[in-house]
Structure 1
Amino acid sequence: MKRLATAAVLLPLVIIFILKSSPFQFALLVALLALLGLDEFYRMTLPGRRGEGWLAAICGAASVFTVFATNPILPLFALTGLVLLFTLIALFRLQDIKQAAPDIALVLMGFLYVPLLLSHLVLVRMQPHGVAWLFLIMVIVMAGDSAAYYVGSTIGKHRIYPAVSPKKSVEGSIGGLAGSIIGALIARATFFPELAIADCVATALIFGVLGQLGDLFESLIKRSCGVKDSGVIFPGHGGVLDRLDSILFAAPAAFYYSWFFFKGCCGG
């Protein structure tokens, strides 16, 4: 009931915000999600370094706005600054020398995992038909998740990766991909007619597979850290990373597919 109530409140709000917001306003939302997601990541992986974790989360969230840079050097400059800043913090805040290398690796991993991948949502929003692409990602991922759950819980017998996620099955995974394809076809029939049938199948399979891998990767992190959920911000759903794990991996694929392969607008 908590999951349904939370979804019933949040999903309409997200849909309305995506429809009404400008790319910059949408980037503000993505930056907020990056901030909360990074905080969860560092709470799990670096529980004894809260001050440094918050500083890294703030800096990482701010890096989302580099997608608006007109000079391609600026995003590289920002990433270089983050690397130098936090490697120097590790150098001069030395506590346990045996933990120095793993700790700085986890700090930098957080930047790559959360804001780097998540910022692709802003790039998607800035594309022609950007709003439709955002909804397509949501439909493919959500339809895949729902289908995987129901197929897996009904007929799932062969575990796909029990060391990381004991309940996920091969049958559920295949059912999830079928659900993603159906979701993409529904998207084409309702709000995204510019998609060709080939686009529906390709995006459903690509985003669907990557979404499932993103889910498994976040489960790997949580099991490694000995936690059940990344956070508690969404009642019945866990944390920000628990809700965005699939989208984190699907968002870059959506941007690069729309950039390199989509032929539904502007002649290519």
Structure 2
Amino acid sequence: MAQGASLAAANLVAVVGGSLFVLLAGLQLYVWSLLALTLLSFLLFSLFLFQRRDLRQIAHDCAVTLMGVVYLAFPLALMVELFRQPNGRQWIFFVLLTVMLSDTCAYFVGSRWGRKPLYPSVSPNKSVEGAVGGLLGALVGGGVAVATFFPSLGLLALPVALFLSVCGQVGDLFESLLKRSFGVKDSGTMIPGHGGLLDRLDSLLFAFPGALFCALTGSALGVW
């Protein structure tokens, strides 16, 4: 997405750094993961010393590249940690089910009955009605999860599903905000006709950390 806006970002360093952070965090080598991210950030800063371009743009480019690492690597690392929790596999499927149903219902309800804009300056096609439809879709997903593969959540699945729907919708809006900021229509071209890879993942990037928060809080309180 930043590349589409002609930002001079060290893409290779960002990809390697983010991937290494996720790998080390997945192996529960948390100090090493932070050390790797810090050292690769310093390498990134060093690479910008050799950029022959407007010096006033360098700080902006560094910030954009580092934000990309944080935006992608941190949620993915937390997804791995969620999988390690008790009932981790169920939690992963719970997030996927509720967020996907939330996105789907938000789209169809908004397309059919959407009248009141939700955030027109960022995403003019999203509506309040669609957001409510997304919440209802998440409730359905939570109910299906309890009835099939995650009965231990019980009735608490409903507020958790609502919370994840809100996280996902905020993630969707934030990704739209980034696209507006960079002046691009799609976040990439990896999935032609579907707005880019990030457009498929934006909700999940916010929902996985939210789910880990719920899982850890519930475990600490002895709820599940």
Under a length normalisation based on structure 1, what TM-score does the superposition of the two structures give? 0.77
2:57 equivalent to 1:99: yes
CA distance in 1, matches of 2:64, 2:125: 27
2:212 equivalent to 1:255: yes
Match of 1:122 among 71, 80, 100: 80
Name 1:28's counterpart in structure 2. none
Name 1:187's counterpart in structure 2. 145
Cα deviation 1:56-78 (Å, max 9, x = unaligned): 21221221112134454222212
2:12 equivalent to 1:49: no
Match of 2:166 among 179, 188, 209: 209
Shift of 1:48: 4.9
Structure 2 residue runs of 5 or longer lacking an equivalent are none
Aligned residues of 2:90 and 2:150 also touching (Cα < 8 A): yes
Structure 1 residue runs of 5 or longer lacking an equivalent are 1-40
Considering only aligned residues, what root-mean-square deviation do their CA atoms show, in Å? 2.1
CA distance in 2, matches of 1:159, 1:245: 20
> Aligned AA for 1:43?
Q
Q: 1:129 to 1:196 in 2, by over 3 A?
A: same
Percentage of pairs with the same residue: 42
* Aligned 1:1-268 pairs, distance under 5 A: 41-45=1-5, 47-49=6-8, 52-198=10-156, 200-262=157-219
Cα deviation 1:115-139 (Å, max 9, x = unaligned): 1122211111222211111111111
Q: Secondary structure at the match of 1:212?
A: helix
Q: 1:80 to 1:172 in 2, by over 3 A?
A: same
Aligned residues of 1:156 and 1:170 also touching (Cα < 8 A): yes
Aligned residues of 2:187 and 2:199 also touching (Cα < 8 A): yes
Aligned residues of 2:7 and 2:61 also touching (Cα < 8 A): no
Cα deviation 1:223-256 (Å, max 9, x = unaligned): 2222221122224323221110000001111112
Q: Secondary structure at the match of 1:168?
A: strand
Aligned residues of 2:102 and 2:165 also touching (Cα < 8 A): yes
Aligned residues of 1:144 and 1:180 also touching (Cα < 8 A): yes
> Aligned AA for 1:179?
G
Shift of 1:109: 0.6
Q: Secondary structure at the match of 2:152?
A: coil
Q: Secondary structure at the match of 2:49?
A: helix
* Length, aligned pairs only: 224
Name 1:15's counterpart in structure 2. none
Shift of 1:140: 0.8
CA distance in 1, matches of 2:121, 2:25: 37
Under a length normalisation based on structure 2, what TM-score does the superposition of the two structures give? 0.91
> Aligned AA for 1:83?
S
